[in-house]
A and B are shown apart, each in its own frame.
Chain A
């Protein structure tokens, strides 16, 4: 028999002390959702079950005790740190869930400039770590748009990626070791070594688990030397995404490692580059960084490749540098955007997928055309490729729609989910992955079996093994 709400709060207070258990109604209501229900948040309309409590986790041992208790009592637990998730991963899908908030664990444990790695607790904001690294002339190399507000635990849990990924990689390439707590209270540490071949790489059980398997308490990430004075910026306008993908591919397969490599379609380019790009222009841009020789060689190499595409017209690099300087979204921009939405009911959403070079152009065109034709009230449909690899790239669909004729609570069902559905269908049809870096959350969980195919057996077995009672973040990755 499940515990009552009161008994859950009492149990939590007994374990961690009442000062670490938040039961303020407003906090609980706000904690029932993440940015997936953006419009509902803005209008303060909440439809998800309200959690029983938010527990401010102070230590690994406290997390272990809490999880063991929740496992025994069958209480659903939702781990979080910076709470910047966008795909419903932090939503409370069932009543009386408990939010385990790791943000109080905000200590930078060690910045090791000799071994080029930093160890932090899960609640350290990425910006804080980056600032500390910069004092030593180093960088994490990780720069998601959410850098000012996201925390390391959540970034690892959602398999995050940053804007300089083409050089530094995604978070999975940066995590050296970590500590995580499983539902039975088991604390596991994966040690920090340059590489290992001692069986499967179990870091990947934890990285990207989205709180559905364990609670991440500590991570160690790589550091890199920081050479901002060597940054070089390159940009072109062109009329065809197909040509843009070809040029992007050629740069990648030629072995160049720009930190930023992006291709914007005309719709998305219009949002950022209308001061130099025509309304039917795509924009292709690169940033090279690193030691001066490498940065120069990278920029020169990219220049030589794109010069062979007569369709591409080069633009003043200051346009790209200015854009680059204004990339991240801090609280000020988030507040301004919320106010814009409140007044106009014009909502911006994004959905990111990946595919090989042969398929990405088709997926982009098919999804874009279907969304424009099938979804009402679209005000902008566009996208860009922002993370490229030797065998393919991602597509970050970026779209706006007016919410018409329905309340905030129906925005997801009338617009957002049908758009996600189209993008997932067109991606899966062509062999791509339906999630590039936001995580599955609950929004894309319905497609998990299609995404994994026969390998779903492995994923499901992990869940059964590590979370046999099914208390970890119900509905995330694994649909209810």
Chain B
């Protein structure tokens, strides 16, 4: 089985200065949007889950004498993506590639889907395409479905767990509105990972990095995948047109009382009892 994980590297929005959100308004005319240059880059959290789940499938295969899946990873982006790809190589991903399209595709889900579908179609692509269900602010969460549609593969969303069965079958657990669905699927398929319990990617040792230092990251152009990126972006003329701060402050009170017992009493009498009685 070949597993391809598509991931996105995003700015650490939590670290943005307020000024950089405000500055975004001034930059909108230039199409620059929010100023994210000054913050570190992170793996999109859902993609991080996907990358680790793929490694766990590989580990599980080794433990159960299954055929070990071949792991590949791909991301769309410039040189800032490379450190993440070299980390994946050190963790045992057989191939790590970035597609440098030379354009901002943050608001072009159809273009992103076309690129990822082309990667999956590539001779070194995958039978299983693992993606995060969505990425950072502004993402509509449609990419996995668009990729599946382009490929003509089934798509399972809100995936939280994946288990290898005999043969190439997978048992996939998905989070639905009020239940967990367990589905057995036979690849090819697209799996969109949601709020999985596994949310952190393991870390390679310095020796792992040394051992894989000669394995290079593949750098592809859109044209290498038979894609005319300009044409795709022309069909998808979307962009950031405005920013509005959302105030998340919540009303609060300081619970009075000198001792923990008094405070607990005030909390119960003044704030909780009425709520409990209503229940």
A residues neighboring B (CB under 8 Å)? 19, 270, 272-275, 279, 316, 318-319, 321-322, 325-326, 339-340, 343-344, 346, 372, 377-381, 400-402
B163 to chain A, nearest CB (A): 18
In the assembled complex, how far is the CB of residue B186 from the closest CB belonging to chain A, in whole angstroms?
A: 29
B102 lies within 8 A of chain A by Cβ: no
Say yes or no: is B41 at the interface (Cβ < 8 Å to chain A).
yes
* B166 contacts partner chain A, Cβ-Cβ < 8 Å: no
Query: What residues on B are CB-neighbors of A326 within 8 Å?
Result: 15
6 further interface pairs, Cβ-Cβ under 8 Å (given A325-B15, A340-B200, A379-B205): A322-B15, A322-B16, A346-B202, A378-B205, A380-B203, A402-B205
Contact of B198 among A274, A343, A372 (CB under 8 A): A343
Residue on B nearest A404 in the bound complex, by CB? B205
Contact of B201 with A344 in the complex, beta carbons under 8 Å: yes
Query: What distance in Å separates the Cβ of A336 from its nearest Cβ neighbour in chain B?
Result: 10
Pair B202/A344 contact, Cβ less than 8 Å: yes
| 4 nearest A-B pairs in the assembled complex, by CB-CB distance | A343-B200, A322-B38, A346-B203, A379-B203
Cβ-defined contact, B83 with A274, below 8 A: yes
Closest B residue to A275 using CB positions: B40
Say yes or no: B15 contacts A343, CB within 8 Å: no
| Distance, CA A381 to CA B206, complexed state (A) | 9
Instruction: Count chain B residues whose beta carbon lies closer than 8 angstroms to a beta carbon of A.
Output: 22
B67 at interface, CB cutoff 8 A: no
User: Are B41 and A380 closer than 8 Å at their CB atoms?
Assistant: no
Contacts A378-B206, A379-B203 hold; do A279 and B83 have CB atoms under 8 A apart? yes
Query: B204 at the A/B interface (Cβ < 8 Å)?
Result: yes
Question: B17, B20, B40, B202 — which one has the most chain A CB atoms within 10 A of its CB?
Answer: B40
A286 to B272, CA, bound (A): 50
Residue of B nearest to A325 (CB): B17
**Interface check B261, CB cutoff 8 A:** yes
- Chain A residue nearest to B86 in the complex (CB): A279
A-B contact pairs, 11 of them (CB 8 A): A19-B261, A275-B39, A275-B41, A318-B38, A321-B38, A343-B200, A346-B202, A378-B205, A378-B206, A379-B204, A380-B203
| A interface, over-half SS | mixed
Contacts known (A274-B41, A322-B39, A325-B17); A343 close to B199, Cβ less than 8 A: yes
* B198 / chain A contacts, CB cutoff of 8 Å: 343
Residues from chain A with a CB closer than 8 A to the CB of B17 are: 321-322, 325
Tell me if B40 and A400 are in contact (CB < 8 A): no
State the Cβ distance, A140 to closest chain B Cβ, in Å. Answer: 23
- B37, CB-defined interface residue at 8 Å: yes
Q: Give CA–CA (A402, B204) in the complex, Å.
A: 8
Bound CA–CA A273/B80 (angstroms): 12
A270, A273, A346 — most chain B CB neighbours (10 Å) = A346
> Which single member of A322, A339, A344, A372 contacts B203 (CB below 8 Å)?
A344
Q: How far is the CA of A364 from the CA of B199 in the complex (A)?
A: 34
Give B182 Cβ to nearest chain A Cβ, in Å. Answer: 22
Q: How far is the CA of A339 from the CA of B16 in the complex (A)?
A: 23
Confirm or deny: B123 has a beta carbon within 8 angstroms of a beta carbon on chain A.
Answer: no
Q: Which residues of B contact A272 (CB under 8 A)?
A: 40
Q: Which chain A positions have C-beta within 8 A of B41?
A: 274-275
What 1/0 flags go to B187-217 for Cβ under 8 Å of A?
Answer: 0000000000011111111100000000000
Kindly report which residue of chain B lies nearest to residue A20, judged by CB atoms: B259
Give every chain A residue within 8 A of B39 (Cβ-Cβ): 275, 322
Q: In residues 202-255 of chain B, which contact A (Cβ within 8 Å)?
A: 202-206
